[in-house]
Amino acid sequence: MKQLITFTVQEKADCFEQISKIFYNTNFGQASKTEVELLMFKFYFEKLVKSSQTSTGNIDYNACSDYKISKKLGITQQRVRNMKIRKQLVYPVDYDWQKELSILMDNARYDEKLSKITVSIPDPNLFYDIQNFIEELGGYIDIQLNSKILQIRAEYFLALVVAVEKNQKNQKNIEKRIKKEFIEYNKSEKGYDSKNIGKSLLEITTNVTSIVASISEIISPSNFLGVSLIKLLGLK
């Protein structure tokens, strides 16, 4: 069978150096089978990610799919997902979850009637990072039987866009514009919560597309999620 990845001589030396730390420091035999397996998975997965990165430096999730890894390693897809989660907890690697999500948004679907955005998130760690951020904003996601499917109210996704806007002047202008839209629809400022924009918008029967259209020129080009939302709604 053709090898999926190949380690260089230096990479092999680096891997052995990490293995030696759990055996040759008066701790020989103390590492559990689970710990050794996790370390070996770390070597494999990080090399796989590195060797399959796109030209822009982003992860190629097709090359790192649970299915392909399970076939190569001879373990179940569920075990692969569990190993990915444990690896990130024990051997964390920083990555830009906003940028990764924005790329996956190219395959997202927007249901205007239900005001919901649905997108497939192949990596469990990315899924949890997104879910946690949304919940910190006071929002929520709709749990699906398929654990890779992220479904979220468009109002909460818009709140997410506002929260990740790094240009503070733009962020304030966006918040003012949304508040203005809220007052126009609600005929009152009552019920508007600047700390929970998503929930506030759910209180009124407004069209998210029209709100995004009104703030589209204010959203910074570096706001990957904002740009993705504009594109998803067909505004650009």
56: confidence class by pLDDT, cuts 50, 70, 90: confident
Over 80: is that where the pLDDT of 22 sits? yes
Average pLDDT over residues 42-50: 95
Beta carbons of 87 and 77 less than 8 angstroms apart: no
Beta carbons of 160 and 218 less than 8 angstroms apart: no
DSSP annotation string for 86-134: HHHHHS-----HHHHHHHHGGG-EEETTTTEEEEE---HHHHHHHHHHH
Quick one: tokens of 78? 């569920």
The structure tokens 């069209």 sit at 207
The residues facing 150 across adjacent strands are: 119
Over 60: is that where the pLDDT of 2 sits? no
pTM, entire model:
0.90
CA 55, chain centre distance (Å): 19
Q: Angle, nearest 10°, between helix axes 97-104 and 224-232?
A: 10
SS3 141: strand
Beta carbons of 82 and 71 less than 8 angstroms apart: no
Quick one: tokens of 11? 């990479």
